[in-house]
Structure 1
Amino acid sequence: MLTNYLNAYYSGCEIKERIEEIPDSGYRLDFTGALYDSNNLIIGDSIRLIDKSDHVLPIDVAFVPVRKNCKKIYGKSIYLGSFFSHYGHFLTEGLSRMWLEKFSEYDSVIFQPFIFGKKMLSVHNFIFELYKIGDEKIKIVNTPTEFESIDVPQQLWLINREPDIRMRSMYENIKKNCLVKHKDENIYGKIFLSSRSFSRVDNIESIENLLRTNGFNVIYPEDYEFSHQVYLYANASVFVSISGSGMHNVIFCNQSALIIEIGDFRSKKSPINMQIFCNSIARLKNYHFFENLDRQIKVDIFSAYLIDLVN
């Protein structure tokens, strides 16, 4: 669903630490930033809807009695929600507002800030180029703003909730374009997607060495542009990574690939919700391993587990 609003109002963004705790929740930050219609009533689809396991709590009011003096953006705009300078969040909930995939008719593409800052990542550059969103159209607004005309698309994937099935075709289209772009590049059969900045596992080098010994190519996403990464994932026969954003890349793997997730302290018994949904979108089975003590993966136990699965 895509809804147009005339003379809409953006209230401005504010992020601050919570003063009081909410029992049985993960909320740590209060967040304001929403659109209001011409009657100053909140536009529900402009809010980042969450559940109690998320850290950021939206506290926007339902009605704004008085609009602040503000700038106005003229022409036709589209609102794409929070700008996620975070790979996993952009790839899932961020991308889920971009299902139109065609933005040439818009004068401005509107985002609001989020807790990760405004840095443009390789994944942003690829998606914006794919959807023909020029730099001159992108506006990250954080102060009160009025819009002559703005479209608000439905969000197809809410954090920690099951995605709309239409997300699958978006990922397939992205994968298809990446395969074409890198069709002459080398492929790696067995991949361990590592990182030079893992904070939830302390003995990552031991895992890398084990996997290299077993014929895996260890790759670091920071060494590849996004499209090249997708090409490698799509051609992998075995894909292994640590719980988190890296594991979300299973959405680009083939259904014949063997998927192994090494759990961390957040995913001791099973993958986190967003990973479960990534596996579902990809129609893949995820083998989940957890033997972890004080952020140390038990290498000997994982070695036996790996050999049993791969051989």
Structure 2
Amino acid sequence: MSTSSKPVAPLTPLQLPEPRIERVRNALVVPVQKGGRLPNGVFRSNGTFCEHSRTLLSQNRFTDIPDRPDRRGVMRISGRHVFGGVMRDHFGHFLLESLGRLWVFDHLDDPVDGVLFSPRRSGERLARFNPKYESLFDAMADEAAPLMINAPVVVEELLLPSPGFGHQGWITGTPQFRAAVQPRLATAFPAKGGPDIYLSRTRLAGVEKAVDKEQRIERLMARAGYEIFHPQDHDISTQIAQYRAARRVVGPDGSALHLAAWAVRPNAKVAVIQRRHREKTVQSFVNQFEAFGVADVRLLNPLVAKNQQGMKEAGEPAPLYFRLLSRQLQENGFL
């Protein structure tokens, strides 16, 4: 693993960079600024920008390089800190964009004083770390304090890890990230819960989050002995404990599967039900499960083809063939 401060190649959404940890003395950390794609990041003391402080957003977009402020008058922070990047409140984006550098805690010889994050929206003077995420963050960051900055700061010593996980082409994670996250979750969250679960979306607000005919799907799965599990109704500790206990997991594509892929046992059976016509995004869930060691992952596509859907109201979920889904679940060993 590289620890050099030499310049690196520009990040690409197609492939994760080689893992490296750059130690930046007197680093100028700039929080999210207004305009563009969440411009933020780290400048070295010589004024050069640290490419690995950029974050991969959805749709293969990177955060923009911010304007470099004058160091004069900028608040200074003493001690050693880790650069965490952009802090997202949305659960899926939190997993994909805010935790990808925490693999560094498996490679530290000395303690750190905190992890520096910039809130998603610029100017959030009272931004706080979402308490719902504390148990997961603590497990991955050795209980180091997450520190939210809303103005530029100069940090005495900043550890800048390369990103190790993220959207699309980054979904498989680096070996270092995978080696860090799975043992930590296993230690922090003992398995507890039913053996067969269906991850439901029926209680999520917003028609764009809905799954066609999902109440019928719930009844089908319940008759087969599955627990209908609503992830958002449980704290993260309970979610991870349930995923670790499950032997069969079935659910539509969505944020809950990103966390499940970190936690389920390698011998579990997983069925990802495609609920929308976003093939690359849906395939990325399968790729993540496989990369994190789950050998038996099935992608089930019961959707009506786009050219056969006819007219439907804007925002309505993509229609699916219920009987086809039932047959797919049976043929793949989930019913």
Percent same amino acid among aligned pairs?
19
Q: Distance in 1 between matches of 2:161 and 2:281?
A: 32
Q: What is the TM-score of this pair, normalised by structure 1?
A: 0.81
Q: Distance in 2 between matches of 1:282 and 1:69?
A: 49
Partner residue, 1:35: 42
Q: Does residue 1:188 correspond to 2:194, yes or no?
A: yes
Q: CA deviation at 1:38?
A: 0.4
Partner residue, 1:140: 148
CA pair 175-5 structure 1, distance change in 2 beyond 3 A: closer
CA pair 179-145 structure 1, distance change in 2 beyond 3 A: closer
* Conserved 8 A contact 1:85-1:121: no
Partner residue, 1:215: 225
| SS of 2:65 mapped into structure 1 | coil
* Conserved 8 A contact 2:26-2:157: yes
Partner residue, 1:107: 113
Q: Distance in 2 between matches of 1:130 and 1:96?
A: 10
The worse-fitting range, judged by mean Cα deviation, of 151-160 and 90-99 is 90-99
Q: Distance in 1 between matches of 2:89 and 2:286?
A: 19
Partner residue, 2:64: 59
* Conserved 8 A contact 2:100-2:163: yes
Q: Does residue 1:262 correspond to 2:268, yes or no?
A: no
Q: Distance in 2 between matches of 1:246 and 1:36?
A: 35
CA pair 266-31 structure 1, distance change in 2 beyond 3 A: farther
* Conserved 8 A contact 2:168-2:280: no
* Conserved 8 A contact 2:267-2:294: no
Amino acid at match of 2:323: D
CA pair 281-246 structure 1, distance change in 2 beyond 3 A: same
Amino acid at match of 1:236: A
Stretches of structure 2 lacking an aligned partner (at least 5 in a row): 1-19, 305-315
Partner residue, 1:168: 178
Stretches of structure 1 lacking an aligned partner (at least 5 in a row): 17-28
Q: CA deviation at 1:115?
A: 5.8
CA pair 115-266 structure 1, distance change in 2 beyond 3 A: farther
* Conserved 8 A contact 2:268-2:296: no
Amino acid at match of 1:302: L
The worse-fitting range, judged by mean Cα deviation, of 243-252 and 208-217 is 243-252
Partner residue, 1:285: 296
Partner residue, 1:98: 102
* Conserved 8 A contact 2:31-2:119: no
| SS of 1:256 mapped into structure 2 | coil
Partner residue, 1:273: 284
Q: What is the TM-score of this pair, normalised by structure 2?
A: 0.75
Per-residue CA distance 1:52-77 (angstroms, 9 max, x = gap):
x23x542215x838446422212222
Partner residue, 2:312: none
Partner residue, 1:45: 52
CA pair 158-229 structure 1, distance change in 2 beyond 3 A: closer
Amino acid at match of 2:101: R
